[in-house]
Structures are given as structure tokens and as C-alpha cells.
């Protein structure tokens, strides 16, 4: 429940307004639940502002995020807020016209598209869901990600989710939240539940 | 990214299906961001399942959650998923016909309504936003909350958000996630941003 008041005024030569409109890089990491759900919750706010939103799902799964995807599509199509574009690695990225050989290649293609969109200023909020994994596995170069994000034009907010966020990414982020698992029903032998896990 | 597979099968005499349909009590706590946003992300999944959702906002603030509220209202009204009912303490609970003297009284009134709805099985998902505070402050008795939740009928999922979740509540919960602040822009002197903080 932050009160919206900073503890100190920084000596960065920026006005409050400039600081307020600074593009944000947020990272949701850690072993607990809520990393992606919080990112999609953030997308609700962006939608309410009328911002164009791009979701890039860096995970291959048919079942996951179906609820979030349908909700954000209905919201985007309602015309009452921002437009939502949903890119899914699991079904092949929509802009790739040829067969993709491996998950590694698919992840790289996704990142290439994010780079193009950032350069073009396509979205105001980017949800790069589970994007820490391709970095963690060395499929996408973290140093390149950090430098591309650092130099992105305009006010494009980016939220990256997933466990094992590389230290270099954490260092470059403005907002980092670690979700810690205190207790999980799977520990008590419960399987994932419809409406809760997906 | 839980794989949906439990580590152990519990000796609780329940079938997998029974366990799968068990009502869930989730708590999002800790000093970091994302406690409420993750709860609203969860509401997207519930909406997608067609479940009736009740949101109880136990915090007085005009600006906060405006994005989430508008998005969930549009979703609820779309007729494509579950219905959404949004109760706000800040504007007085809609069912209270008289003047409420204090925040403490308002919090108690909110909890009384939650109890009535739980007894009636009104919703399938309850988002009790910032409900840890009235418990932490002693306005609402944690022991009573825990015992009411323990005995709630049917499959009514409940998610409670806020810092300082009482230990007794954590003990009774099935899923507890602690959001830890690793880094926050306010530390660098940045004020809350439109579309990000609200």
C-alpha cells in the first residue's frame, strides 16, 4: 500500500513530471505464485488508460493463461480501453511464415519481434511472460536485452515475468518484486485447479 | 511455473477429483507489489470459467484499483464470462442504508456482508482486497474470520490481500504468497505513475 510519496527527491535533473512519465521496466520473479497474474493485473490498468498492450507469451502451453487471454481479448475488443495484441509462442508466433525448428529458435524469434515493436513504439505496455527462462537458459542474450531496453524510445513500459531472473536484468529494472512461496496446495498433494491455476 | 503435479499423494481419504474441487483460501501478503494485482489476475481466470465473482475493497481510496474495477465491470457486463459484483468501502458499502461513523465500523460491515454471502453461497470467488488490515488492526476478529472460512459451504474460493497477514490466517490458508520488494522506483524518488500504480 505505497502512499505514492517517495522517500527522497533524487538529484537527477528531472522534473517530477518527467520522472513520472519515465518508462518502467518491471520484473516479477521468485518461486512463488502471482508473477504472471500480477503482470496481467497491471495490463488491466494499462487497458483502462487506453494504452495499446502487447503480450508475448514465451512458454509453450495450451492450457495456461487461457483465462487471462480471453479476458484481455474481450477487453481489447470492447473498444472501451486500449487494444490488446496477444502473441503466443506455443502456436508459433503469428508473424513467422516458416516452420520453427525448436523452442530456442521460437524464443529468439519472439525477442526479435519485441525489438522491432520497441523500435517502432508499437505498444505502451509489453508483457513479456516467462521471458526470464530464455535468458536464463542462454537462448537470448541478457546483455542485449538490457541494452535494447535501456535504449528503447518513448514511454514504453515493460514487465518481464518468470523465475531465475538474471542478475543483470534485475540490476537494470526499476521495479523488482520477488514472489516467495510460503505455502502451496501442491505441497499437500493437491493438483492444479481449474479457475485457479489456469 | 508449477507443472501441476504434486510431490506426494496425501493420506486424506479424498479422491483426486474431490481434492481438485476443494475450496481454496489464498493469501497474498508481504511488503512488495503485486498482492492485489495478482488477485485481480486470478479473477480473470474465474471470470473465464463463468464463475460469479464478488470483490470487497477494504480500503478507502478514490484512485486505487480504478483500472481493475472498470476492466472487471466491462468483463462482467460482457455476458461472456462470470458476473462481477464490486463492493467498495470507500463509497460506503452499497447495502448499508445508514451513515457509517468510522472506517472501523465500515470494515466490520464489510465483513458481515462477506459472512452473509458465504453462508448463501453467492459467489464462487471472493476477492477480499486489503482485508488483512482490519484484522491486523483488531477491527475484525481474526479467529472469527478463520472459523467462518473453515466452515464455509460448497466450493467458494477466497483470496485475501494486504500486508501483515495475521499468523492465524496464514496458518489456515491453503496458498500463501509473500511479495517481497527487491527494488521500487519510489526508492529512487519516483512518484506513483498513472497506468502503473492505478
Q: Is the CB of A180 less than 8 angstroms away from the CB of B179?
A: yes
Q: What are phi and psi of B54, to 5 degrees?
A: -115, 125
Q: What is the pLDDT of residue A12?
A: 64
Q: What is the pLDDT of residue A164?
A: 95
pLDDT, tens only, B33-58: 889 999 998 999 999 999 999 999 99
Q: What is the pLDDT of residue B139?
A: 95
Q: How far apart are CA B135 and CA B117, in angstroms?
A: 19
Statement: residue A16 has pLDDT above 80:
no
Query: Residue B60's closest chain A neighbor by CA?
Result: A1
Q: Is the dihedral of CA A150, A118, A123, A125 positive or negative?
A: negative
Q: What is the pLDDT of residue A94?
A: 81
Statement: residue B186 has pLDDT above 80:
no
Q: What is the mean pLDDT of residues B139-147?
A: 97
Q: Comparing B133 with A103, which gets the higher pLDDT?
A: B133
Q: What is the pLDDT of residue A139?
A: 95
Q: What is the pLDDT of residue B66?
A: 85
Span of A7-21, A118-132, A156-170, B33-47 with lowest mean pLDDT: A7-21
Assess contact for B85 and B123: CB atoms under 8 A.
yes
Confidence of residue A56 (pLDDT cuts 50, 70, 90): very high
Assess contact for A81 and B23: CB atoms under 8 A.
no
Among the listed residues A95, A94, A173, A106, the one whose alpha carbon sits nearest the alpha carbon of residue A133? A106
Span of A104-113, B74-83, B177-186 with lowest mean pLDDT: B177-186
Span of A181-190, B81-90, B138-147 with lowest mean pLDDT: A181-190
Q: What is the pLDDT of residue A153?
A: 96
Average pLDDT, chain B: 87
Domains by residue range for chain A, with CATH:
35-182 (3.40.50.300)
Q: What is the mean pLDDT of residues A5-19?
A: 62
Q: Which of A37, A136, A173 to mutate against chain B (most B CBs within 10 Å)?
A: A37
Q: What is the mean pLDDT of residues A144-162?
A: 97
Burial tier of B66 (Cβ tally within 10 Å: 0-12, 13-18, 19+)? middle
| Chain B partners within 8 Å of A74 (Cβ) | 74-75, 78, 80-81
Q: What is the mean pLDDT of residues A151-180?
A: 95
Span of A77-81, A94-98, A188-192 with lowest mean pLDDT: A188-192
Statement: residue A4 has pLDDT above 60:
no
| Chain B partners within 8 Å of A32 (Cβ) | 177-179
Across the interface, which of A20, A30, A195 has its CB nearest the CB of B46?
A195
Q: Which of B32, B57, B166 to mutate against chain A (most A CBs within 10 Å)?
A: B32
Q: What is the pLDDT of residue B3?
A: 46
Assess contact for A72 and A123: CB atoms under 8 A.
no
Among the listed residues B171, B99, B107, the one whose alpha carbon sits nearest the alpha carbon of residue B138? B107
Q: Is the CB of B186 less than 8 angstroms away from the CB of A2?
A: yes
Helix (H, G, I), strand (E, B) or coil at A62: coil
Q: What is the pLDDT of residue B75?
A: 96
What share of chain A in percent tops pLDDT 70?
A: 84
Q: What is the mean pLDDT of residues A123-148?
A: 97
Q: How far apart are CA A184 and CA B41, in angstroms?
A: 18
Statement: residue A11 has pLDDT above 90:
no
Query: Residue B68's closest chain A neighbor by CA?
Result: A44
Q: Comparing B172 with B102, which gets the higher pLDDT?
A: B172
Query: Residue B50's closest chain A neighbor by CA?
Result: A195
Q: What is the pLDDT of residue B84?
A: 96
Assess contact for B56 and B87: CB atoms under 8 A.
yes
Maximum distance among all Cα pairs of chain A, rounded to whole angstroms: 55
Amino acid at each position: 500500500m505505497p502512499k505514492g510519496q517517495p522517500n527522497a527527491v533524487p538529484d537527477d535533473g528531472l522534473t517530477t513530471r518527467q520522472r513520472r512519465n519515465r518508462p518502467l521496466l518491471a520484473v516479477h520473479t521468485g518461486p512463488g505464485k502471482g508473477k504472471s497474474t500480477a503482470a496481467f493485473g497491471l495490463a488491466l490498468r494499462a487497458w483502462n488508460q487506453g494504452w495499446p498492450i502487447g503480450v508475448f507469451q514465451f512458454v509453450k502451453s495450451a492450457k495456461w493463461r487461457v483465462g487471462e487471454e480471453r479476458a484481455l481479448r474481450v477487453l481489447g475488443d470492447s473498444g472501451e480501453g486500449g487494444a490488446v495484441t496477444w502473441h503466443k509462442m506455443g502456436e508459433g508466433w503469428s508473424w513467422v511464415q516458416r516452420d520453427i525448428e525448436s523452442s530456442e529458435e521460437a524464443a529468439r524469434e519472439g525477442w526479435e519481434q519485441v525489438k522491432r515493436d520497441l523500435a517502432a513504439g508499437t505498444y505502451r505496455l509489453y508483457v513479456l511472460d516467462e521471458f526470464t527462462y530464455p535468458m536464463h537458459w542462454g537462448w537470448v542474450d541478457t546483455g542485449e536485452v538490457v541494452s535494447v531496453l535501456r535504449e528503447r524510445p518513448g514511454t514504453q513500459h515493460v514487465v518481464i515475468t518468470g523465475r531465475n531472473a538474471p542478475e543483470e536484468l534485475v540490476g537494470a529494472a526499476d521495479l523488482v518484486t520477488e514472489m516467495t512461496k510460503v505455502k502451496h496446495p501442491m505441497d499437500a498433494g493437491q493438483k492444479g485447479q481449474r479457475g485457479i491455476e489456469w
